[in-house]
């Protein structure tokens, strides 16, 4: 592995993420712009159909964001005020927020140390009289243990809503694409995702009736005949524009290449950071778990955990001083100020999540990251860890 030098600090900064868009995206967006129809036009249905075909499902409803997809999915599942929904604390905050939107309570359970997904045993133990459903997240593109979670749900008559916003292209052990098991499932298309529409998301619906409901609620509760004067239910402005759908169609055309690039980058990081001859400063660094049991990850981000005694935030600062963008991925939701104050959460409740959250950082990860840039990142990480003081006896005792 090469070693960064002081002149490496003068290199162009390397961002954490960057959308992979090109000539085809520009072509379809300009075509749509010139058509004069920028909302509720033919691109919407075309994008929904193409996405459904890609996943091997029939019914999808495109919306303005992954958060909107989660919100409408929970409404369709029947969540009501006073209900409880079991979910993971290691996620982007939207997965929990969408539960709160409907007056329900997120019940956070600890995570699996290896996959970082919701631990099925912890989820089963958390089921109570107010539990209405489960909301697992396929974190960083790693498939959650849906067979085990679905078994819990079936035994107690609970719904499952999948947050697959980071997992487009991932597969379960039986070959089923993540999001295509028949549950309500959501995907997000923010610029750092495997596929982007700028902003946007989609709900994978189990049947035509659910799609009709979500299609109406995303459009202010308007009736199917689009009559402006007939709004027969509460709705929202969660529409996805024609321009966004055009961008999505172009991305779908080259999705295989985009996914392959991400898998190649993840493999290159693992090879360099896990090499036998890696710098000693990298000892104790934990990498994303490899695929196992037939499940196949679709890498959304490359998230590592610094050694237990290291100061993660100091490492991030040292990386940024070298022009390498990095961020904590992810804060524990139950310890965010809103959730502490609203639901009374405190440090120490979920030790595995809290340890992982304290140690995790995301490295630059996007199609187009060059070999030279990747080498720079790895060398800078080794330097940052080497120069960051480690506490002698603060190793984690979390299970």
Q: Which residues are catalytic?
A: 193
| Gyration radius of the chain over CA positions | 22
CA distance 147 to 181: 10
Residue among 288, 350, 335, 354 at smallest CA distance from 96: 335
Cα 348 to Cα 50, 107, 117, 137: the distances in Å are: 45, 15, 18, 22
CA distance 348 to 360: 17
**What's the token pair of residue 168?**
């487009």
Instruction: For residue 163, give the DSSP letter.
Output: E
Q: HSE-up of 40 (CA within 13 Å, CB side)?
A: 12
Q: HSE-up of 58 (CA within 13 Å, CB side)?
A: 8
CA distance 177 to 354: 30
Beta-carbon contacts of residue 42 (< 8 Å; ≥ 6 apart): 242
């Amino acid at each position: 592995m090469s070693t960064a030098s002081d002149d490496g600090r003068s290199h162009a900064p390397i961002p954490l993420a960057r959308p992979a868009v090109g000539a085809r995206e520009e072509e379809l967006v300009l075509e749509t712009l010139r058509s004069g129809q920028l909302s509720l036009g033919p691109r919407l249905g075309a994008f929904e159909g193409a996405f459904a075909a890609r996943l091997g499902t029939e019914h999808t409803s495109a919306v303005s964001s992954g958060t909107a997809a989660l919100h409408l999915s929970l409404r369709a599942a029947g969540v009501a005020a006073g209900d409880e929904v079991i979910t993971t604390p290691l996620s982007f905050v939207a997965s929990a927020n969408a539960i709160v939107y409907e007056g329900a309570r997120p019940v956070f359970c600890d995570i699996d140390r290896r996959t970082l997904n919701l631990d099925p045993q912890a989820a089963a133990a958390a089921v109570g009289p107010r539990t209405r459903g489960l909301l697992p997240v396929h974190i960083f593109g790693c498939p959650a243990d849906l067979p085990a979670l679905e078994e819990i749900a079936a035994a107690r008559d609970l719904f499952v809503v999948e947050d697959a916003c980071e997992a487009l292209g991932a597969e379960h052990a039986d070959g089923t694409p993540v999001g295509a098991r028949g549950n309500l499932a959501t995907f997000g298309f923010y610029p750092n995702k495997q596929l982007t529409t700028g902003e946007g998301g989609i709900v994978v619906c189990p049947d035509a009736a659910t799609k009709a409901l979500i299609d109406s609620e995303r459009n202010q509760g308007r009736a199917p005949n689009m009559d402006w004067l007939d709004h027969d239910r509460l709705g929202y402005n969660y529409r996805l524009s024609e321009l966004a759908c055009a961008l999505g169609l172009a991305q779908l055309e080259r999705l295989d290449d985009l996914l392959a690039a991400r898998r190649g980058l993840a493999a290159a990081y693992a090879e360099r950071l896990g090499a036998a001859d890696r710098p000693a400063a990298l000892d104790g660094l934990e990498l994303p778990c490899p695929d196992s049991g037939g499940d196949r990850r679709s890498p959304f981000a490359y998230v590592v955990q610094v050694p237990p005694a290291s100061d993660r935030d100091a490492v991030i600062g040292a990386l940024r001083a070298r022009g390498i963008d990095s961020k904590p991925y992810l804060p524990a939701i139950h310890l965010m100020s809103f959730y502490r104050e609203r639901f009374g959460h405190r440090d120490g409740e979920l030790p595995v999540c809290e340890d992982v959250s304290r140690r995790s950082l995301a490295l630059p990860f996007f199609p187009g990251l060059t070999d030279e840039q990747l080498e720079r990142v790895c060398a800078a990480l080794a330097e940052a860890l080497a120069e960051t003081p480690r506490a002698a006896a603060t190793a984690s005792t979390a299970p």
